[in-house]
Amino acid sequence: MTSDRNTARVAGTLFITATAASILSSPFLEPINASNYLVSVSANGNQVMVGAFFAIIGAAASASIAISLYPVVRRYSEGLALGAVGFRLIEGTLYLVGVTSLVSLLALSQEFVKAGAPDQSYFQTLGVSLLAGYHWASYVGGALAFSLGALMYYYVFYQTKLVPRWLSGWGLVGAALCAVSTILVMFAVVAPLSTPQVVVNLPIAVQEMVLAVWLIVKGFNPSVIASEPHVGS
């Protein structure tokens, strides 16, 4: 019981860390959204690197959430527990791929400025490719992997009542909406971080903070933990 209580606290802390790091990275990465981003990124290199640092923290925390939940979730569905770990590890890996694209974009922009901002197409072509790689890794691949992993452990939470059903049900709806917004970004219906995309993702962002506080303060349902779990895939 004590071990499960600690698991809940660790998971709650990781939820907060992942969300806080993601939010903190956004203002530092504003230079990549400028129309003349090749100049802007170079001029704000340290700022971009701070944003990348927060993104790395977010990636590590995101990947660790399902790992921290695994000892509890696996008792009720080992298959879904493994699936959640797998998808959230993919999520964290793709976020790191996005960070690599950012660092590469910074190096390219510095070379661009050092060369006197020439009107040479390969700088723009590489810049567009690196920026697209960042957006696809972070807002399409990473977000979709997050949605699938989250759906798996929220389903287990809902079925077992490890947390209140209103909270796990909210998570299921929020994760499904996140998957929808990811598909909309994939097909260029909405832009990454546009108002519609942010609005659609807001339910899961709020839910994860509520869940984090619940896990830290109350933990998992003690009556469910005390009962004999059914392990299956």
> Domain span at residue 117?
2-226
Which has more pLDDT, 158 or 231? 158
Report CA-CA distances (Å) from 1 to 168, 201, 220.
21, 34, 10
Which residues 6+ apart lie within 8 Å of 18 measured at CB? Answer: 58, 61, 62, 65
Q: How many CB atoms lie within 10 A of CB 85?
A: 23
Indicate the pTM of the whole model: 0.91
What is the reported pLDDT for 121? 76
Helices (H) and strands (E) in the chain, counts: 9, 0
Q: Does residue 201 have a pLDDT over 80?
A: yes
The better pLDDT of the pair 137, 230 is held by 137
List the Cα angle 180/181/187 in 5-degree steps: 95
Q: Is pLDDT of 227 > 90? A: no
Report pLDDT digits (tens) over 76-127. Answer: 999 999 999 999 999 999 999 999 999 999 999 999 888 887 766 788 889 9
Residue 231 forms part of a structural domain: no
Give the pLDDT confidence score for residue 229 in this predicted structure. Answer: 55
Question: What tens digit of pLDDT does each residue of 149-165 get?
Answer: 999 999 999 999 999 99
Q: What is the rounded average pLDDT of the residues 181-205? A: 91
Determine, yes or no, domain membership for 233: no
84 neighbors 68 (Cβ within 8 angstroms): no
Residue 95 domain-assigned (yes or no)? yes
Residue 45 · residue 89 · CB < 8 Å: no
**pLDDT per position as a tens digit, 30-46:** 999 988 999 999 999 99
172 in any annotated domain? yes
- The rounded mean pLDDT for the chain is 93
Domains in the chain, number = 1
Question: What local confidence, expressed as pLDDT, does residue 233 receive?
Answer: 44
pLDDT interval class at 230 (50, 70, 90): low
Query: How far is the C-alpha of 226 from the C-alpha of 233, rounded, in Å?
Result: 21
- Residue 138 inside a domain? The answer is yes
* 39 in a structural domain: yes
Can you spell out the DSSP letters for 94-154? Answer: HHHHHHHHHHHHHHHHHHHHHTTS---HHHHHHHHHHHHHHHHIIIIIHHHHHHHHHHHHH
178 domain-assigned: yes
